[in-house]
Amino acid sequence: MKTILSSQTVNIPRDVDITLKGPTVIVKSPRGTLTRKELATVHTICSHVRNTINGVILGFCHQMRSVCAYFPINVVIQENSSLVEIQNFLGEKSICRVQMRPDVASSVSQAQKDEFILDGSDMEHASNSMANIYVSEKGSLQKADE
């Protein structure tokens, strides 16, 4: 049987404002503003709203470490933390440059050696930037195998 009407409740903190304009959800807080266009089911929309609330209140942080066997890999943050350069990967002379998605800040960890951190309000942007760094170097490995 097909469900015609469905409802679900999401608790919204006091300092967060949510606006609905058609299929677009706008979430505002002191940390920032996120906009998401959704045409999916109720549970998916509620999950996205919860994630955007967590993003504008707490933010999302992804950490990655560079591991090397012989050639030391250097990770350099450029252009106001919006560009990550990976140098000396497998001894290559070429520098791999990865542009971060909007509103994602990158930094080098002071507590752990060879670790860098991506921080952003939007979970998709932060995780996509981390995946772009991973895929950029994996691509050079696959080319070498062929």
Answer positive or negative: Cα dihedral of 11, 13, 125, 85: negative
CA distance 135 to 80: 22
Q: Measuring CA to CA, which residue among 86, 100, 72 is closest to residue 139?
A: 86
Residue-by-residue DSSP string for 99-140: EPPTTEEEEE-SSSTTEEEEEES-HHHHHHHHHHHHHHHHHH
Q: Which residues of the chain have pLDDT under 50?
A: none
My answer on whether 91 and 114 are in the same domain is yes
Q: State the residue range of the domain holding 36.
A: 17-58
Q: What is the CATH number of the domain that holds 85?
A: 3.90.930.12
The answer to whether the CB of 117 falls within 8 A of the CB of 63 is yes
Q: What is the pTM of this model?
A: 0.64
Question: pLDDT tens-digit profile of 66-107?
Answer: 888 788 888 888 878 888 888 888 888 888 888 888 888 888
Total of domains in the chain: 2
